[in-house]
Amino acid sequence: MDQRNHEAINPGPGVTQVRKLSDYFPKLYGTKGDTDVFILQGKEPGGCVLIVGGTHPNEPAGYTTARIIVENFVVEKGKVVVIPRANMSGFSHTQPLEATPAKANFSWNGKPMVIDVGSRLTNPVDQWPDQRLYKTAGNQILSGSEQRNSQQSISRESEWNTHRTGCVWNNAGYSRGKPTDIDRFARSCP
C-alpha cells in the first residue's frame, strides 16, 4: 500500500509554475492519467523543450533524471516543460514475480534521494481484463498485457484508460508529422 504514497517532488529554484496535465487536457481530471507538469521559464526568450519521464516506472532513469532537472536546474533562455511521472498508474504497483522494489534509495550530489519505482504497465485496477493477444498500431502481435503499455498508445487513442491517458504525452515525440494535442501544448509553451 506504501506504493500509493508517492515521493514528493520538490520544485527547485528554476521552477516558475507547477500545473496539472488536466489543466491542458480536462478529460484527464480526476483520473490516474493526471500528473504534475513543471515549467522552468528562463529570463531570456528562446525555444521550448518538453521532457517526459516515467513512461515505464520500472525503468527509473527517465523519472529520476526528470526529477533532478525539476529540483535543481535553472533555465536561462527559453522554456523547459517537465512531466516526471507520466504514467502515474504504473507507479502505483509492481509487476508480480519481477522482484521490482517499490522504492529505491541512493544519493545524488551528496543528497539522499528516495525514488518511486513501479511497473512497466498500468495497474490492472485501472484497466482490466487484458485481451489474450494485443495488436499494436503498427500491426505487431504482442501478449495481451501489452495493451496496458502506455508506450503502445503512440499516435492513437482508444477507449482503454492506458491509451486515453498515454496518447496525450506519448505523441510529443512520435507525432509523425501530424499535429497532436501535446505538440500544440509544447509549441504554445504554456
Report in angstroms how near the CB of residue 55 gets to Zn ion at its nearest.
6
Nearer to Zn ion, 79 or 85 (CB): 85
Nearer to Zn ion, 56 or 85 (CB): 56
Can you say whether the dihedral through the CA atoms of 118, 169, 185, 70 is positive or negative?
positive
Examine residue 148 and tell whether it contacts Zn ion (CB under 5 A): no
Nearer to Zn ion, 3 or 150 (CB): 150
Residue, CB closest to Zn ion = 56
Map the footprint of Zn ion across residues 47-66, applying CB under 5 A. 56, 59
How far apart are the C-alpha atoms of 127 and 160, rounded to whole Å? 7
Asked whether the beta carbons of 124 and 89 are under 8 A apart, the reply is no
Asked whether the beta carbons of 68 and 7 are under 8 A apart, the reply is no
Report in angstroms how near the CB of residue 190 gets to Zn ion at its nearest.
26
Report in angstroms how near the CB of residue 59 gets to Zn ion at its nearest.
5
The residue assigned the cell 520544485 is: 11
* Helix H or strand E encompassing 63: helix 60-72
Report in angstroms how near the CB of residue 56 gets to Zn ion at its nearest.
4
- Pull the grid cell for residue 107: 544519493
- Binding residues (CB under 5 A) for Zn ion: these are 56, 59
